[in-house]
Structure 1
Amino acid sequence: MRRSMLGRLAVAACSLSLLTAFAPAAVGADGGASAAGGSGRSYKKVGYFTQWGVYGRDFQVQDLDANGSAGKLTHINYAFGNVSAEGKCFTGNIPGEADAWADYARPLDAANSVDGVADTWDQPLAGNFNQLRELKAKHPGLKVLISLGGWSWSTHFSDAALTPASRKAFVESCIDLYIKGNLPQDGTRGGAGAAAGVFDGIDLDWEWPGSAGDTDTKYRPEDKRNFTELVKEFRTQLDAYARSQKKAEYELTAFVPTAPAKIDAGFDVRRIMRDLDFVNLQGYDFHVSGEPRTAQQSALYARGDFSVHGTVEAWQRRGAPAHKLVMGMPFYGQGWTGVSGGGDGLGQPATGPAPATWAAGYEDYKALKKLADSGAYQVHRDRRGGHAWLFDGTTLWTYDDPQVLRAKTGYIREHGLGGAMFWSLDADTADGELMTAVDRGLRGR
């Protein structure tokens, strides 16, 4: 899921390698979730906070409190932590590889701080990590996980998972850095235990074990077995550290793909689901703007094509319990320009990705909402398929809006799924429109 520092997000998660289609089939409910709240169920609401979003987008942790999202989330996944060529979790100020300045060194003024107090020059923890700590203090029960890898930073996962010794060392390094909070010294920042208590667990975002991901990401046939063993090693070490701290648990989750070929190449579903608290299903980038024809990127149903329903069915058929499946939802759209062929624009040839704010072919929901409200674009809907798109006769954007999210949250409730995940929180409107739609939908409102 990694999209680089300035939002090179259009190549995301599954990208052009989604080559196998399948039709939707019936999915049965699984009532395994614990009861909570007026809805009779507790649902995960997992939002990704992007490390680089604090720059161009100027989206700070404090914005999650100001727009009401923090009070609706159960989990924040911090994107991303990197894996070194030596198979260790690491950080630092290395362009394109790590950004300790954003993570824990950058001072925040009072206006951008969750607690309304400016950072001092000598406090060991500043930056996003300190703000996440403050956000958790203000919203007890909110959990923060470090997400490791992503599309661009899965490069060395295969090597890190290769042997029992490499897996043990890899997991130890990640727990030391993020769970124990032993950060490298960066001036007055960092040091032993500086980030202790910030993270409540680890999210594995290896894209993809056993099959191709980004151009420099290594993969091997034995990745499937090694990923299973890596998950087990994380579970073992996290549980041991939790016991030593007299803590109930540290959570362990993973981001997992849509394509059946990728599932089968990299994921021993029944075994990993025993050790994972839940998995976040890829629910977007079914088609991307680099393709020559326009298409849906996140349909709930799509016969003969990738869809959310098809993803859920694929994972359940391989043994995943419904209550551990969290549905991924996009807070952005994929776009094409030079669309010809008339009609509503969907399924038509295009000359290339549409111009956009951060990267061609990729646009935040908040910008797409403005296009929809402008009247220059017509909103089209496939109500049966559960997806929407904008088209002005030349440019098309496929995206999820509150109406689509209501259908998807209804599906989650109907099929007994574990909840909703969204990429990414900085793409929502200033008043958290999409987050509110998901929250209300999961409450049955």
Structure 2
Amino acid sequence: MRTLLVAAATVAAAALPSAAQASSAPAATAHALAANGKVAIGYFTQWSIYSGFMEKNLVSDGAASRLTEINYAFSSVSAAGLCTSGDSWADYQRPFSASEAVNGVADTSTQALAGNFNQLKELKAEYPNLKIVMSIGGWSWSNQFSALASTAAGRQAFVNSCVDQYLNGNIPGLAPGAAKGIFDGLDIDWEYPNEPGNGNPYGPQDTADFTALMQTFRTAEDQAGQANGEHYVLTADVSPNQYTTAQQLQLPQLAKTTDWLNVMTVDFHGGWEDQTDFSSNLLPDPKDPQASNDKFSIVQTVAYYESHGVPANKIALEIPYYAHAWAGVGSTDNGLYQPATGAASSDSESYSLAAAAPGTVHYDPVTASVWKYDAASQTFYTYDDPQTVAEKGLYIDLAGLRGASVWSLDGDTSTGALTQALAASLL
């Protein structure tokens, strides 16, 4: 399997179309993916507009024409256990100038909707087959899930608020239905049931409560879909950690309830540890010096999910568009599996910046991973590049998985090098 995968991936990576070739027929890529039942999902972050990355960039870098779905991150959850905007200015109030807008027309003070939501609406008008999904929670906004999911009444109130706002388009403070037709579904990112995540409340009841919450979402989405003549997507973002976090999930029930699961196969290792390693390696390395309960790879994660009742076509893998980096790394083995003094100041920076940073890129055929080592600054970077993204896409095809999601789209190059590699490899 390893030899077949790496050989096929290397050939396919070499055969990937050039940027000019890809841009000559980009719409066919997304259409072909959808026709094959594959998903290529890109997360667009609410806050990226503050650093100048806007929905219009998804047109210029080709992502909008190559992806099947954009997940908007995130909706927050209020103290009352309801869906709410975490930044209403970015979501639906900020006016976009003509140069910023997808359609090239400036927002006005009299229109019903502005901000990112309106830009997503404009994006969808240009790419009508592109699905837009609201992702709810995330690392920073998962602190209310345990409480709201603990009762049937709490679950129903939460689900009703999310469906009403994002599927029926009734945003508080705006005209009724102002956002209707923008979102094609909901993505639930509870980090994590029966695990603290970002210091969140948790308990053993979360395991069954998460299943019940997702079942409540499925029922409500189906009802809304019947009323609106739509099939609304329902997905959940779940942990790749088969040793702890994934064990807290009732996977067969979740697989049955959702359209698919977005397995967050990222952050296996990073600068918070005292030894360099790969953050999202496809294959395991027998020489990995980590303890037995800290050895990770994508194929191990997939094997765990499949062996615990999740069909292959209900699994989508997450690919990082960012790097993790360590400082104070010696030059032995070009920094791989070496002690470090801590995280580099550039830890968790975008792929585009990491790729441009000083250093030499090395490829590891054992794990199908790349790393960069800069001897002058003693910095070690782990990330994905177009070759490893293409290899992951080919693995997805070979394994019969549903597709991939990427975090996050603002990390790609201005020409969309990573998304181009992903879409081409999934065909």
TM-score (norm 1): 0.85
Question: What amino acid is the match of 1:363?
Answer: E
Question: What is the aligned partner in structure 2 of residue 424 from structure 1?
Answer: 408
- How far did residue 437 of structure 1 move? 0.5
Question: What is the aligned partner in structure 2 of residue 133 from structure 1?
Answer: 121
Q: Conserved in 2, the CA contact under 8 Å of 1:178 and 1:195?
A: yes
What's the CA shift string for 1:57-105, capped at 9, x where partnerless?
x1000110111110011111100011112111112xxxxxx11000000
Q: 1:411 aligns with which of 391, 395, 398?
A: 395
Separation in structure 2 between the aligned mates of residue 166 and residue 321 of structure 1, nearest angstrom:
30
Whether 2:326 is the aligned partner of 1:332: answer no
Q: 1:108 aligns with which of 90, 96, 101?
A: 96
What's the CA shift string for 1:165-198, capped at 9, x where partnerless?
110101001111111111122xxxx232111111
Tell me which protein shows more helix as a share of its residues.
2
Q: Conserved in 1, the CA contact under 8 Å of 2:192 and 2:245?
A: no
Report 1:277-426 matches (<5 A): 277-303=259-285, 305-340=295-330, 342-356=332-346, 361-371=347-357, 376-393=358-375, 394-426=378-410
Separation in structure 1 between the aligned mates of residue 175 and residue 275 of structure 2, nearest angstrom:
51
What's the secondary structure of 1:191's corresponding residue? Answer: coil
TM-score (norm 2): 0.88
Question: What amino acid is the match of 1:410?
Answer: L
What's the secondary structure of 1:202's corresponding residue? Answer: strand
- How far did residue 327 of structure 1 move? 1.1
Whether 2:219 is the aligned partner of 1:236: answer yes
Separation in structure 2 between the aligned mates of residue 52 and residue 40 of structure 1, nearest angstrom:
32
Question: What is the aligned partner in structure 1 of residue 70 from structure 2?
Answer: 76
- How far did residue 261 of structure 1 move? 3.5
Question: Where does structure 1 differ by over 4 angstroms across 4 or more consecutive aligned residues?
Answer: none
Separation in structure 2 between the aligned mates of residue 366 and residue 88 of structure 1, nearest angstrom:
36
Report 1:71-220 matches (<5 A): 71-91=65-85, 98-185=86-173, 190-215=174-199, 217-220=200-203
Q: Conserved in 1, the CA contact under 8 Å of 2:170 and 2:179?
A: yes
Separation in structure 1 between the aligned mates of residue 147 and residue 103 of structure 2, nearest angstrom:
41
Question: What amino acid is the match of 1:297?
Answer: S
Q: Conserved in 2, the CA contact under 8 Å of 1:108 and 1:118?
A: yes
Q: Conserved in 1, the CA contact under 8 Å of 2:70 and 2:133?
A: yes
Separation in structure 2 between the aligned mates of residue 38 and residue 50 of structure 1, nearest angstrom:
23
Question: What amino acid is the match of 2:44?
Answer: F
Question: What is the aligned partner in structure 2 of residue 95 from structure 1?
Answer: none
What's the CA shift string for 1:271-320, capped at 9, x where partnerless?
11111001111111001211111111000012451111111111101010
Q: Conserved in 1, the CA contact under 8 Å of 2:195 and 2:245?
A: no
Question: What is the aligned partner in structure 2 of residue 47 from structure 1?
Answer: 42
Gap runs ≥5 in structure 1: 1-23, 28-35, 92-97
Separation in structure 1 between the aligned mates of residue 180 and residue 230 of structure 2, nearest angstrom:
16
- How far did residue 38 of structure 1 move? 8.6
Give the direction of change, closer, same or farther, for the CA distance of 1:200–1:39 in structure 2 (3 Å limit): closer
Separation in structure 2 between the aligned mates of residue 401 and residue 200 of structure 1, nearest angstrom:
30
Separation in structure 2 between the aligned mates of residue 266 and residue 239 of structure 1, nearest angstrom:
26
Q: 2:235 aligns with which of 236, 247, 253?
A: 253
Q: Conserved in 2, the CA contact under 8 Å of 1:224 and 1:265?
A: no
Give the direction of change, closer, same or farther, for the CA distance of 1:331–1:38 in structure 2 (3 Å limit): closer
Separation in structure 1 between the aligned mates of residue 225 and residue 34 of structure 2, nearest angstrom:
31
- How far did residue 212 of structure 1 move? 2.2
Separation in structure 2 between the aligned mates of residue 79 and residue 248 of structure 1, nearest angstrom:
22
Separation in structure 2 between the aligned mates of residue 138 and residue 395 of structure 1, nearest angstrom:
43
What's the secondary structure of 2:216's corresponding residue? Answer: helix
Whether 2:389 is the aligned partner of 1:441: answer no
Separation in structure 2 between the aligned mates of residue 224 and residue 167 of structure 1, nearest angstrom:
14
Q: Conserved in 1, the CA contact under 8 Å of 2:96 and 2:114?
A: yes
Q: Conserved in 1, the CA contact under 8 Å of 2:276 and 2:326?
A: yes
What's the secondary structure of 2:333's corresponding residue? Answer: coil
Q: 1:61 aligns with which of 35, 43, 55?
A: 55
What's the secondary structure of 1:111's corresponding residue? Answer: coil
What's the secondary structure of 2:363's corresponding residue? Answer: strand
- How far did residue 140 of structure 1 move? 1.2
What's the secondary structure of 1:112's corresponding residue? Answer: coil
What's the CA shift string for 1:35-63, capped at 9, x where partnerless?
x839982310000000001002x100011
What's the CA shift string for 1:230-250, capped at 9, x where partnerless?
0000000110111112x1311
Separation in structure 2 between the aligned mates of residue 257 and residue 381 of structure 1, nearest angstrom:
26
Question: What amino acid is the match of 1:200?
Answer: D
Separation in structure 1 between the aligned mates of residue 93 and residue 214 of structure 2, nearest angstrom:
31
Separation in structure 1 between the aligned mates of residue 354 and residue 246 of structure 2, nearest angstrom:
35
Separation in structure 2 between the aligned mates of residue 293 and residue 265 of structure 1, nearest angstrom:
26
Separation in structure 2 between the aligned mates of residue 180 and residue 297 of structure 1, nearest angstrom:
39
What's the CA shift string for 1:387-418, capped at 9, x where partnerless?
11100120011000001111111101101010
Question: What amino acid is the match of 1:295?
Answer: D
Question: What is the aligned partner in structure 2 of residue 18 from structure 1?
Answer: none
Separation in structure 2 between the aligned mates of residue 239 and residue 132 of structure 1, nearest angstrom:
23
Percent of paired sites with the same residue: 42
